[in-house]
Structures are given as C-alpha cells and as structure tokens.
Structure 1
Amino acid sequence: MKKRVSIIGSGFASMAAACYLARDGYQVQVFEKNTEVGGRARQLKKEGFTFDIGPTWYWMPDVFERFFADFGKTPKDYYSLQKLNPAYKVFFEDGNTISIEDSLEKIYAAFEKEEPGSSAKLKKFISRAQENYDIAIKDLVYRPGVSPLELITPTTATKLGQFFSTISKEVRKEFSNEKLIQILEFPVLFLGAKASNTPAFYSFMNYADFGLGTWHPEGGMYSVIKGIKELAESLGVDFTTNASVEKINLHNKKATSITVNGKLVESDIVLSGADYHHTESLLPEESRQYSESYWNKKDFAPSSLLFYVGFNKRLKNVAHHSLFFDTDFGKHAEAIYDNPKWPNDPLFYASFPSITDASTAPEGKEAGIFLIPLAPDLQDTPELREKFFQKIIQRLENLTGQEVQKEILFKDSFCVNDFKKEYNSYKGNAYGLANTLFQTAFLRPKLKSKKVDHLYFTGQLTVPGPGVPPSLISGKLAAELIHQSKN
C-alpha cells in the first residue's frame, strides 16, 4: 500500500515536493487554504487585466529546466518563455536612467558609458560571480542543511573568505560610481537582506542577473504554477483548495493525521510548505522545535506594500521591469532593517507585464504592479497605503514625464495585514528569512522536525532560502529526505 503524504500549502516548494513524492510512489494530497493553488504566487484577474499577486521575476532558468528534466520534461512543455530586453530599467534621482539589456556585452557597454574603465572591472567581477554560481546552484543549494560539513568541499575551501566579507564590500572595492553600485547591490534584495549583511559569496546573484538574464512566462508567473500543477496531477497528486489545516495530530510523538476544515485526514507523513512558525503553532507547545524568542531574534526579509493598477492607456518611458532608485537607498534600508518604520521616501519597483504580454491587459491599456519593500509587522492601514501610493505615483509621473493618475481605472493593494491573513506569514513577511551569514544553509530551520517523527518542512523559511528557484529546490530536498528516511 502506498504511504500517504499530506502536504500543507501549495506554493512552489510544496508543488515541487508533491511532484517528486508522487513520482517516487507516494500517495500525495495537497491542502491549500485559499481558493486557488500557488501560495504567494497567485493571480488577480479584474476587468480584463491579469496580475501576478506574488513573484513577477523569472530568474535562473536553469533551475526550472533542471526541475522539469527530473520528470523527463522541459519548461516549454508547459509554458512559453521570452527573454526580456531590456531585462529592467533603473531610474535615478538626476533623471537619468540605465537599462540592463539582454547580453553581457551590452551590459559591459552600459557600465563603460556610465564610468570609463568600469567594464573591465565588471568582467572580472562577473567571472568570479559565475564561479560562485556554478558552485552554489549546481551543488551547494541541493544539500539539505543537515550538517555544516555540507559546505566544506575542495572548491568551497578556496571561497571561504567570501563568507566573511560582504557583497557591499566587494562591490565597493571595484566600483565608485553610486549608480553602478546600486545596480550591483540590487540582486541580493531577492535574498532579503542588505548588501552590507549578505556574504560576498552570494555575488552569484549578479551572474543570475547579468549572465542568465530576465525572462517572462507568457501569461505571467502563474503559468509556471499551472504547469507544475499539470505535471503533479499527471503523476497522481490530488489538490484540495479552500482547505484550512487546523491541527497536526500526534500519537507517540509521531504525526499521524491532520485536521482539515474540522475533518481528520489520516497521514503517514506530513509535509508543510506553509509558514514554518505557523505550522509549529498547529502542534502542542512541547512538540515545537523553535520558541517565540527564537523567531523574534531572526532576521526576516522584508514585507511589501503592493498595488495592482489598471491604467486606461499605454504608459511611455517605462520597461516591463522598472526600478526607481531616485531616493536614498541607505535611508530606506535603515527603515526596513535597522529602525523598522514606514520609510519617508521609499525606493520602489514597478512591473508593466502588458509591455511584453498582450494577454495581461485589454488593448490600449496597461497593467501595472508596484512594490515598496517594508519592514515586517508595521502598522498597516488604508490611509497609509493611500499615502504611499500617492508618493510613488507622483514620482512615476515626474520621472517618466507623463500624467497617469487620471488614467487609473482601479487599484487593489496588498500589504502586511494581507500577508498575515492570506498566508499566515510570520509578522507579515513577504520573502522568509534573510540569507545572512548566520542564517545560511545548516543554520536555517530544519527540513525535518527534531521533535515529531514523520513531520517535515519546506519553503522559504528553510533551506536553501527565499525566492522561486530556491523554493523549487527546497521541495526537492524535502522530498528526498522523506524518501531516504525509514518512515
């Protein structure tokens, strides 16, 4: 008889784990509290517009390829990809912009134009970043975080110093132009920490950015979720939505069932891709591995204030991905990480998927997604949301030389309170635990419970960390750990 695995949540990590476990002969059922699968990677459809509610960047295409290849498939079996050019456009305070295009040679030229001599430095920097990428993504991140010895290999021994330096130090050794520094420090925002707190080894994100490029799945990131769900169902995975998991039931310190909408679901193994802190709250207190003080001391990645806006016209002078670095990044970072509060002049990111993908907006109109990174657990009110929308929309108008306010058909928002309500997210964080030195690899919360047998975890709060590609990898790691255990 097949062993029954109950999976809590249906984000990228849960979906990946479901596929691997079903392939390996388990009977897998996924329970999702919301009305559709995808976890944070859901979709909003309104008045003919389509928005990705969560992730909007498709980076590290090789990780997606490796995932599908494990099942004899390729991404194109499920969705179409387009490489973006430019990958993104960056707006600065002086009104100038820098576009990061779709090849290293073009990026070297853009750097050289901004700061003569910088292209040679960038080539060396990217060469080192590619070495790190090859070590990290092809090897290290596919290790389960069980032991510190996982990090020690003949190759990583030569990179040890990079774990004790930071991205910020390494970038500033080579570059003095603040615009170029901001562009090089930007990718680690996906890791949820300041560049000054992120180990230099994580420069592999710069190679992911410049070397591998930015892609767009037709129909948005939710097309990837739909593709993985199709794969999972073909392997026999069963999905149940509107299914709130209320309790993980134990017998002799072993997970034996879960309570879903008041009903008992017998399980040989329970795997949670839901928020780790929330999952442990479904257990008796003595069966939880990590205390409230443990979580409270951890460095969490930011939360976000997001807006989904339907415009009644096409916008000009913006790119599919647009970064607005026209204010002091240091002050905004301080308001997120050092002295948590609403920032006075926030940096923000905007995505206009309809520039690339006609399916995301009616003809002649534009879909806009805006994101302001925030400290977790801030006060969140409609008045604050509106105040900050006005701040960023006015800056968008000034920097791009156009009026857009009068062209807004509607706007929906999503912020700290929504992350807590929709995803049971600890303090309303958006990206999980930051990848700082003391929250890397074996120092992150464990995939396997130390106190409850047959209980496992996956997702952005455990290894390897935040982001969509790491979540796919996390699902694989959790599934392998389950399959290798003598349950």
Structure 2
Amino acid sequence: MIGGGIAGLATAALLAQDGYDVELFEQRPTVGGRAGSHEVGGFRFDTGPSWYLMPEVFDHFFRLLGTSAEEQLDLRVLDPAYRVFSEGAPGQVRPGPLDITADTATNVATFEAVEAGAGRRLTAYLTSASEAYDVAVRHFLYTSFTSPLALASPDVLRRLPRLLPLLTRSLEDFVAARFTDRRLQQVLGYPAVFLGSSPDRAPSLYHLMSAMDLTGGVLYPQGGFTRLIEAVADLAREQGVRIRTGATVTEVTTASVAPRTIGGGRRPSRLRRGPRARVTGLRWRDADGLEHVHAADLVVGAGDLHHLETRLLPTHLRTYPQSYWDRRTSGPGAVLVLLGVRGELPQLPHHSLFFTHDWRANFDAIFAGRVPAPASAYVCKPSATDPSVAPDGHENLFVLVPVPADPELGRGGADGRGDAQIEAVTDAAVAQVAEWAGVPDLADRVVVRHTIGPGDFAADLSAWRGGMLGPGHTLRQSAMFRSRNASRHVDGLLYAGSSTIPGIGLPMCLISAELVLKRLRGDTSTGPSPEPAPGARPVTREVHV
C-alpha cells in the first residue's frame, strides 16, 4: 500500500480484514496525508478536512470492520452548521450574517425570510437533491464501472429524463433559475468547492450535496479529524497491517508478461489489450536514505495518482501519462492559515464562510492562475466545540483561502516567515475576517501563526500541481469519466484516493477503498458491500500487498 492517508489506511484495513497480508508505506513521519495535524504552542490544528458529511458512508465503513462510528468516534452535531458572511454589493451596506442550522424547517424559514417564495422553492430543491443523492449512492458511487449493464437498472432508466439534464447544465445556472438572492445562491453553490470545482463548472447533478448540510446538519468528531485518522489506523493495525512511516516509495517494480495473441499459423496477430507487465513489488527509501526492495503480488497506490503514474512507473507502462494530465483540470490550491488567538471570538461559530459578492470573478481568477482579491474564504473554529484544540482562554482558527493550484506561489512557514505571496494572502484573509465578522483587533490577538501554501502540498504530499484536493469534479472528470482504479498495463496495480473514482472528500476516499476490495472480489454490483455478520472471520489468502 502506497500512501498513509485516509484512503490508504482504509484500503489496508479492508484488505487485511479480508485475509490479505498488508504492508503500508508512508513517506511522511506520520499517517494522515491531507488529513494531517500540526501542534504548536498548546494548539492542535487539523490541516485538511474539517466537515464530517455523509455520515452513513462512515457508518458503513466501520461496520465492514466489525465496529461502528459511534464506538470509534465522539460525534457532535454543530448548530449552527455554519454561518455565512457576505461582502455585499458595491456601494451597499454589507448584509448581516446568515446562519444555516441542523434543522431543515428552520433553514426553509431562513430562505423565506431572505426572499419571498424561496422557502417553498428550497423544499422542492432539497427533494430533488435527496433523490439525486439516493440514486448516486445506489448506482454511481460504489462501482468501478466495469460492468455497463449494472448501470442499466430499471431504477436508473426510469430516472434518466430527470438525471440527464442535470449533467448538461451547470450548478450555477440550476440554482440561479430558482433563487435570485446572491447569498442564497452562494449557500447552494459553495459545495462545488468541496468537489474541487466551482458552481459554473460543476454539473448541476451535484446539487445533491445540499441534501447533506441543509437537511441533516454537520457533525464533528471530538479530537478533530486527527482522531478519525487514528481510529482507522488503529483498526488497520488490529487487522495485522504493518505501517511504515518515513518510507518513500521510489518505484513500482514490474516483470514483463508474454503478449496475448490471436490467430493461427506461423505469424499470429498480437492483441493490443491486456496488461504488458505484472507487479512484483516496490523500491523504497527509509528515513536514513537507505534503499530497499519489497516483494508483493499486489500494489495499491493510494497517494497522488499523477505522482505514481509519472514518477514511479516507466513511460511504456503508464495508464495516465503526462499527456493525460495536461488535458485535465486540477481543483484549486489553497493557502492554509493556522492561528492561535488570545481571548474568545463569539462572532464565529465552528464553521464560517466568507463570500465575495462577485464570486464568479473570484473563481475565474483561480482557474486562470491568478490569486483573487478580495478572495472568498472559509474559517473553522474547532475550539467552539472541542476544548482540546486550544489552551484555556484562547481560540483555534483554521483559515482556508482557495488560490490557483500552482507550487510557484510558494510555501508557508511559522510566524510570517513563509514565502511573500503566501503571507500576503494570509494578511489579507486575517484583515477580511476581522472586518466582516466585527473583530477589529483580531491581528493583534494572534499568538500563533503558521501558514501552508501550494508549494507545501507539492513537496510534502506529492500533490499534482500543488492542489489541495485533486482533479476537480467537472463533467469529464466525474463518475465513469474519472480516472479508473486499476492500471491497464500492469496487472496487480490498483488505485485508491481522491485522484480516482469516486472522487474528492473523506467519504469518497472511504468508498474508493471499498472499490478496491470489490474489484479484487470480482464484485461488479453498484451498491455498498454486504456488511459481515458479527463475529465473522475472514478467509486467509496467500497474497501479499
């Protein structure tokens, strides 16, 4: 297993539980990948995911391993789920903040109070979102798309007249046709950012995201998302997985296989299909710089797929060579700002979104390679819920500013010592939060400051173009159009994680782990795997991963 992020740990745990002998290699000193952690001055910061959505996916994953989310995590419902701060139209007074709660009826009333008739339209919108989400879970998320007939179910065919238009229209247009208030449009459109895209680039099928945060609220695991990583890593170890950290994989090793042929006579024709090689293991370098070889019958790449394909495989064995990536769209990069703040910040709940008025220009700038100014931003204050993340009398703030996926923007650092562009974005974000949220002395109260930029994502996570998420969910990079989870040229080389199907986000990475398991089992169904009966024992297999 290459990569100790959530996808690698989850895949390792599932395969080991199914009887495989698994060893995991992680280049960093600790596991977690993008779901990392940083501790300084008595503060502990999550440096990646911070929204616990699609809880049923987590529940199912834990049940596959004979446990439950309730047993592994202390989950809290956030209320409000998040607060929206808006820039307001030029020349007008900035509107007050808008709260989205854990209660659907309250959210419907909030929409109605902002725009007459919006409550009724939101109810219809959420009904459509729930239907799309249900179809996605049952037919499009838990499949590797290896059996086209599996998608031609009566359920899918019956819904095609409603589903197809959702693929050809943008989320931005879909929302704007129903709501005119800019803030309401942004509440319904911002989930595209979670998908590494923007409302004008993401298909409107992704309005299904609103079935999560507007109807069931948002959860938070006490201890942060570091606790989630610890739980999955512990389960992997319990299943017998051996985890090596500080272990950098430098090559996926292979052996040639004889070409398959057709025809008869003296000069049969070669088949162009089928693998050209089989995996034999990998080469890796330890923290002391010593090189090692590890033999394996199966290798799962659960890190950045671009790095694996273009750095760890020879050219002739690449399923996704550089020319493939040159035609693909990366999700945005990010400047992450970790702030320890003296005193309380009652103006900010656990999650806050800061939206510029012309956010179409904001997104256009990002995807054109320019840092937007002003920029929309996201702020997480986990100390609102979790006292363990900050010393008494202090607050923990995580600020995320989407920027172009470009390592040349630079790397962050401690106490303002990061590269110039990263620190400039940080200064602007702190000033923006201070002004919009009404905390004029915010900068003066900062006692800890650490920044992370696209250059860090590239150097530390081998992230393609320094992106914070992976390939964005445009139409041509979603569902069956996304990178598949098996090499076409190397037998025994599989993929998991946000670069491959089904996509970006912690729940998607857990599903990608299950898709590896289903592929190895020969399971072509489109739904979640059957959950084992309590006490069921796996069958031992003579396969080393």
TM-score band w.r.t. shorter chain: over 0.9
CA shift digits 1:110-148 (9 cap, x unpaired): 111111211000000000100111111233200013355
**What is residue 12 of structure 1 aligned with on the other side?**
6
Amino acid at match of 2:192: V
The alignment's C-alpha RMSD in Å is: 1.5
Choose the corresponding residue for 2:280, options 223, 246, 256. 256
Choose the corresponding residue for 1:240, options 244, 252, 261. 244
Choose the corresponding residue for 1:335, options 365, 368, 375. 365
What is the Cα deviation at residue 161 of structure 1?
2.2
CA contact (8 A) 2:30 2:245 kept: yes
CA shift digits 1:317-341 (9 cap, x unpaired): 111101011442111100122x221
CA distance in 1, matches of 2:76, 2:21: 35
CA shift digits 1:239-274 (9 cap, x unpaired): 110010011111121110111111011111000101
What is the Cα deviation at residue 199 of structure 1?
1.7
Query: Whose radius of gyration is greater, 1 or 2?
Result: 2
Residue pairs, 1:262-411, within 5 angstroms: 262-280=291-309, 281-337=311-367, 339-377=368-406, 379-381=408-410, 382-402=419-439, 403-411=441-449
- Secondary structure at 1:263 match in 2: strand
CA distance in 1, matches of 2:210, 2:191: 6
CA distance in 1, matches of 2:28, 2:140: 33
CA shift digits 1:6-61 (9 cap, x unpaired): x0001111111111111111001111000111111111111111110111111111
CA contact (8 A) 2:350 2:382 kept: yes
CA contact (8 A) 2:139 2:151 kept: no
Amino acid at match of 2:5: G
**What is residue 30 of structure 1 aligned with on the other side?**
24
CA contact (8 A) 2:406 2:465 kept: yes
What 5-or-longer segments of structure 1 have no aligned partner?
1-6
CA contact (8 A) 2:41 2:448 kept: no
**What is residue 3 of structure 1 aligned with on the other side?**
none
CA shift digits 1:380-418 (9 cap, x unpaired): 241111211111111111122221111111211111110
Amino acid at match of 2:347: N
What is the Cα deviation at residue 346 of structure 1?
0.6
CA contact (8 A) 2:345 2:395 kept: yes
CA contact (8 A) 1:146 1:442 kept: no
Residue pairs, 1:84-233, within 5 angstroms: 84-93=78-87, 94-146=94-146, 149-157=149-157, 158=159, 159-233=163-237
What is the Cα deviation at residue 237 of structure 1?
1.0
Taking a change above 3 Å as real, the CA distance of residues 260 and 49 of structure 1, as seen in their structure-2 partners, is same
**What is residue 455 of structure 1 aligned with on the other side?**
493
Amino acid at match of 1:307: V
CA contact (8 A) 1:342 1:378 kept: no
Taking a change above 3 Å as real, the CA distance of residues 326 and 96 of structure 1, as seen in their structure-2 partners, is farther
CA contact (8 A) 1:305 1:416 kept: yes
Q: Which moved more, 1:245-254 or 1:468-477?
A: 245-254
Amino acid at match of 1:259: R
- Percent identity over paired residues: 32
CA shift digits 1:294-349 (9 cap, x unpaired): 10110111111101111121113111101011442111100122x22111211001
CA contact (8 A) 1:301 1:430 kept: yes
What is the Cα deviation at residue 225 of structure 1?
0.8
CA distance in 1, matches of 2:55, 2:375: 30
- Secondary structure at 1:116 match in 2: coil
CA distance in 1, matches of 2:147, 2:361: 37
CA distance in 1, matches of 2:151, 2:354: 36
- Secondary structure at 1:26 match in 2: coil
CA contact (8 A) 1:303 1:429 kept: yes
* TM-score between the two structures when normalised by the length of structure 1: 0.96
Taking a change above 3 Å as real, the CA distance of residues 149 and 460 of structure 1, as seen in their structure-2 partners, is farther
Q: Which moved more, 1:476-485 or 1:87-96?
A: 476-485
**What is residue 458 of structure 2 aligned with on the other side?**
420
CA shift digits 1:171-217 (9 cap, x unpaired): 11111111100110011211111222222221110101212221110
CA distance in 2, matches of 1:127, 1:408: 44
What 5-or-longer segments of structure 2 have no aligned partner?
88-93, 257-276, 286-290, 411-418, 524-540
Taking a change above 3 Å as real, the CA distance of residues 236 and 225 of structure 1, as seen in their structure-2 partners, is same
* TM-score between the two structures when normalised by the length of structure 2: 0.86
Choose the corresponding residue for 1:55, options 49, 56, 62. 49
CA contact (8 A) 2:192 2:202 kept: yes
CA distance in 2, matches of 1:95, 1:223: 37
Choose the corresponding residue for 1:40, options 34, 37, 43. 34
Amino acid at match of 1:189: V
CA contact (8 A) 2:190 2:198 kept: no
CA distance in 1, matches of 2:178, 2:240: 52
- Secondary structure at 1:260 match in 2: strand
**What is residue 479 of structure 1 aligned with on the other side?**
517
What is the Cα deviation at residue 482 of structure 1?
2.5
- Which has the larger share of helix? 1
Amino acid at match of 2:348: V
CA distance in 2, matches of 1:13, 1:234: 17
